[in-house]
Amino acid sequence: MPFQPRFTITAKIARSLMRIEGAKQSLMHLPITPSVLASLRETARLYSTHCSTMIEGNRLTQEQVAKVVQHHEHFAGRERDEKEVLGYYAALKKVEQLAAKPSDITEHQIRMLHALVMSGGRTRVKPTPYRDGQNVIRDGRTGRIVYMPPEAKDVSKLMRELTVWLKASAGQELPCPLRAGIAHYQFATIHPYYDGNGRTARLLTTLILHLGGYDLKGLYSLEEYYARKLGEYYKALTVGPSHNYYLGRAKADITPWVEYFCLGVAESFENVRKQAEAAAGSSDISPLLRKLDPRQRKALELFRDSDTITSRDIERLFAVSQRTARRLLQLWSDAGFLVIADPAKKSRKYALAEGLM
C-alpha cells in the first residue's frame, strides 16, 4: 500500500502556517547587502551544524564548531565530534547545491546526504546503502527499547514509497512545510541506517523547504529549535500504540508531530525576520539599496558566490527569455543598480554598483 500519512490540519497548524507565510513574505522584501547576507548564511550553517550534532551527543561548543569548520583546529579527545561536525557541514553545503538546481528528490540524493553526514568532512563520497539488518532505538538511561524500526527487507520499498509520495505531493495543494514535516517523520520512522538517521532526516527537511521556496535566503536553523525543545522533539516523534513499527506505528495519526514541526518552522522563520530586520537597519545598508524593487532584491542573491552575472543567470533566476533578461540588465544598468564589468556583446557581464556590496 502506498505511503499515505494520517494527520489533521488543526487550528494550531493553521496558525503556524499563517505565521510562516507572514515571515517568509516579510523577509523576501528586506534589502540586505550580499556581504551581510553571506555572513548571516554562514552563521546559520554553523549554528545548524552545532545544534544538529549536539542533539546526537556531540560535545563541541558553538565556538569550537566554528573553529573546526573555518580554521581546521583540533581538540584533544574530540576527534569523533570533529568528524561529525565536518560531515554535517559538508552535507548542509550539498543541500544548498541541490536546492540551486530544482528537481524531484531521489533516493540517490538522500543516500548521498547520509554519506556526507558520515564522511568526516570528505566531499567525494559514494551513496550509502541502506542497512542490511535490524536496529533498535534504546533509552540512553534505562537501556529499554523505545522504538523498533521496520525490518531491513522492507527498507528499500518504504524509502521508494517516500520519494514517490514527495513527488506526487509536490503537485498537490499540500503546503510545503507540511510536506517537509511529514517527510522528516517518515524518514525517522523507516530509520534506514544504523547511524546518522536523525541528522539525515533534518537535512532532508531543509532540502524540501528550500526546493519549495522556503529557504529564507538560507538564514534559518530548524536544528536550533529541535535542540532547544529536545524533549518535545522526541515525544512528538514517538506516536502509535506500540514501539514496534508493525504494531501501529506505520499507520499512526501524526498530527501532534505536525503541530510541533510547524510551530518550529514558524518560530525559526520569525527569528530570522528579526535578525534580518536588524541587519537591514544597520549602517551597512545604503540609500540606493533601500530603493530596490523586489526583482532587484532577489537578483542580489546571484552575487553571493560571484562578483559578476550574465543574462543567462537572470534567465534561470526568473525563468524569463533571453531577450527579457537582457532588457532587465540594461534597465538596471541605466538605473545605477548594476555596472557593465565586461562589455563583450555575447557574454556581457554586470557587477553591482558601488555602495551595494
What domains appear along the chain, each with residue ranges and CATH number? 11-279 (1.10.3290.10), 287-352 (1.10.10)
Q: Counting beta carbons within 10 angstroms of the beta carbon of residue 321, is it exposed (0 to 12), middle (13 to 18) or buried (19 or more)?
A: exposed
CA distance 205 to 92: 11
Of 135, 155, 178, residue with least CA distance to 10: 178
HSE-CB at 163 with a 13 A cutoff on CA atoms is: 14
Backbone φ and ψ of 261, nearest 5°: -65, -50
Which alpha helices (DSSP H) does the chain contain, by range? 11-28, 34-55, 62-71, 79-99, 107-117, 152-170, 176-190, 197-211, 222-228, 230-237, 255-280, 287-290, 294-299, 311-318, 322-334
Q: Read off the C-alpha cell for 184.
A: 522528516
Q: Read off the C-alpha cell for 227.
A: 535542540
> One digit per residue, pLDDT tens: the chain, 357 residues?
688 899 999 999 999 999 999 988 887 766 666 777 777 788 889 989 999 999 999 999 988 999 999 889 999 999 999 999 999 999 999 999 999 888 899 999 999 999 999 999 888 999 999 999 999 888 777 888 888 999 999 999 999 999 999 999 987 889 999 999 999 999 999 999 999 999 999 999 999 999 998 988 788 888 888 988 888 998 888 887 788 899 888 888 999 999 999 999 999 999 888 877 766 655 444 555 556 676 777 787 777 667 888 988 888 877 778 888 888 889 888 888 888 888 887 788 988 887 665
pTM of the predicted structure, to 2 decimals: 0.79
* Burial per residue of 219-247, b for 16 or more beta-carbon CB atoms within 10 angstroms, e otherwise: bbbbbbbbbebeeebeebbebbeebbbee
